[in-house]
Structure 1
Amino acid sequence: MHITFSQSAASRLAPLLEDGSAKLKLLHDTEGCGCVMSGVPALQLVREATVDDKEATGDPFPFLYEPRHEVFYEPQLKVDFNPATNSFSLRSDNQTYTTQLRLISLSSSNH
């Protein structure tokens, strides 16, 4: 799995990652969904990887993800940020996963 972050997404995320205290994770969020098939993608800032996480290369940021959720995503993904709507989006060449990709901060994450 690989994620290319647009210049606007990289600019928005860089200040959150630059001191090295947080890592970026592509989360398949199933909280409140009742089923893993109904999960939605989210970006999450975490302090460290869990035993379930795998690190992947991204451009310009590496990121974590859980391999068991890899089946829900294409191998090449793109994250963009729209300053006008203050929102991230997740796409591939074939589809749009979401135009409202949540960013879960360290303070609001409980994973």
Structure 2
Amino acid sequence: MKVTFTDKAIERLEHEPDGYFKLNYDIEDCGCVVNGVTQLIRGNELGDFNMVLESNFRPVRIQKQYAVFFDESMKIDYLPKYQCFMLKSDNEILNPRMRYISEV
């Protein structure tokens, strides 16, 4: 699996302190695992984010048990108008307004 950050996304994130970037597939209060919502998280702890995805910026980690909900090749873009990120692939938009959380 691979994640490509757009120039806008890199510009938004390049001054963030070091830490791990994680794509969290959040299923809390979603009713069912297939209704999860992806969030971009930066933190110092890996926890159970045990799968590393290639990236053109910094490595991104996911939880292996949720890999089925991600595409083989994804793109993270930044939408300045809405001050949020978008996670998409050639097949679909996985999250049009992905939340960014800094745990640091």
TM-score (norm 2): 0.90
* C-alpha displacement of 1:101: 0.4
Pick one of 66, 73, 88 that aligns with 2:70: 73
Structure 1 unpaired stretches of 5+: none
- Mapped pair 1:16 → 2:16: yes
- Mapped pair 1:96 → 2:97: no
**RMSD of the alignment, in Å?**
1.4
Distance 2:85 2:48 in 1: 27
- Change in Cα spacing, 1:10 to 1:52, as seen in structure 2 (3 Å) is closer
Structure 2 unpaired stretches of 5+: none
Distance 2:15 2:84 in 1: 16
Superposed CA offset, 1:71-103 (max 9, x none): 011110000001122121011011111211011
**Kindly, what percent of the aligned residue pairs are identical?**
31
Structure 1 segments of 4+ aligned residues over 3 angstroms from their partners:
none
TM-score (norm 1): 0.85
